[in-house]
């Protein structure tokens, strides 16, 4: 597809799908480009990140979807996507209707197991088709029905966004200066409250402490750096603020429940 035809990630593809009578629509594209605006559409969306990584801004959370992960987004839920990865290869499957189960009405991010990746690879043969044959309908319906069983959700990939606007400068500061240790008094001054109030309100708003928030930001940044395949794990550890590889590895495992793997 030429650049002049590669429009918004969801905007143009959803319009395209909405013009068809198919219950399911498959869209695979290498090197996605995005218009970063929030929008909604009337189909349920399964997005598989084959290469690169993607951030989805949904409600009061930011979801990181790394390589070989999927995100499920319910119909009508406002969201926007963004990424600074050099290359982002995505596959989307859009569903007009889903089973009447709670799973399908919530956002989920989870690693794609081998069987799901194989199913998605097979489904790519229906890429951008505007007519739906019997095999496509049955195959994608079976995949849809199996998603709750494939889901091994990783809540560590969610960044909470506080609703209290006094905390936004604090979050912005940590996001921009995650490689440095923060001073609690300085952050409290930004929020125009005492250190004790800041710690209490931040935990109430986000569900995690300031220290845990910084740890989460550092680990998600490490995933970005691993993705570009230019640095060793030791280099990444120092870039995100850890004094040793062992400290980074321990912190990464505490968040992700697995050890970091170099992609060099």
Per-residue pLDDT, 18? 46
Confidence of residue 155 (pLDDT cuts 50, 70, 90): confident
Which of 99-103, 162-166, 256-260 bottoms out in mean pLDDT, i.e. has the lowest? 256-260
Whether pLDDT at 21 is above 70: no
Cα-trace Rg, the chain:
20
Whether pLDDT at 7 is above 70: no
Mean pLDDT throughout 160-187? 95
Per-residue pLDDT, 20? 52
pTM above 0.75, yes or no: yes
CA nearest neighbour of 262 among 236, 208, 217, 226: 226
Per-residue pLDDT, 117? 96
Catalogue all structural domains in the chain, each as residue range(s) with its CATH number: 3-157 (2.60.120.280), 162-256 (1.10.10.60)
The string of pLDDT tens digits covering residues 97-152 is 999 999 999 999 999 999 999 999 999 999 998 888 899 999 999 999 999 999 99
Coil, strand or helix at 233: helix
CB 56, CB 90: distance < 8 Å:
no
Q: Alpha-carbon distance 138 to 133, whole Å?
A: 9
CB 137, CB 37: distance < 8 Å:
no
Our measurement of the distance from residue 42's CA atom to the centroid of its chain's CA atoms, rounded to an integer in Å, reads 20
Task: Please name the residues in contact with 10: beta carbons below 8 A apart, sequence gap of 6 or more.
Answer: 39, 41, 45, 79, 81, 92
Q: Alpha-carbon distance 260 to 107, whole Å?
A: 25
- Alpha-carbon distances, residue 18 vs 74, 109, 206 (angstroms): 16, 25, 36
Exposure string over 105-140, b if 16+ CB within 10 A, otherwise e: eebbbbbbbeebbebbeebeebeeeeebeeebeebb
């Amino acid at each position: 597809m030429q650049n002049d035809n590669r429009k918004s990630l969801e905007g143009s593809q959803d319009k395209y799908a909405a013009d068809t009578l198919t219950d399911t629509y498959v869209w695979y594209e290498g090197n996605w480009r995005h218009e970063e605006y929030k929008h909604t559409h009337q189909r349920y969306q399964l997005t598989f990140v084959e290469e690169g990584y993607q951030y989805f801004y949904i409600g009061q959370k930011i979801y990181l979807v790394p390589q070989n992960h999927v995100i499920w987004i319910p119909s009508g839920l406002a969201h926007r996507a963004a990424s600074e990865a050099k290359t982002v290869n995505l596959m989307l499957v859009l569903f007009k209707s889903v089973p009447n189960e709670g799973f399908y009405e919530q956002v989920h991010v989870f690693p794609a197991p081998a069987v799901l990746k194989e199913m998605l690879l097979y489904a790519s043969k229906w890429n951008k088709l505007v007519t739906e044959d019997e095999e496509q309908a049955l195959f994608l319906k079976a995949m849809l029905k199996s998603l709750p069983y494939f889901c091994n959700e990783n809540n560590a990939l969610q960044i909470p966004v506080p609703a209290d606007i006094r905390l936004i400068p604090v979050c912005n500061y940590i996001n921009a200066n995650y490689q440095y240790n923060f001073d609690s008094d300085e952050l409290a001054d930004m929020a125009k409250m005492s250190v004790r109030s800041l710690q209490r309100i931040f935990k109430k708003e986000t569900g995690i402490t300031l220290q845990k928030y910084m740890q989460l930001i550092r680990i998600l940044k490490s995933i970005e750096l691993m993705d570009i395949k230019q640095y060793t794990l030791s280099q990444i550890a120092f870039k995100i603020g850890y004094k040793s590889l062992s400290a980074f590895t321990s912190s990464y495992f505490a968040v992700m429940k697995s050890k970091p793997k170099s992609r060099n």
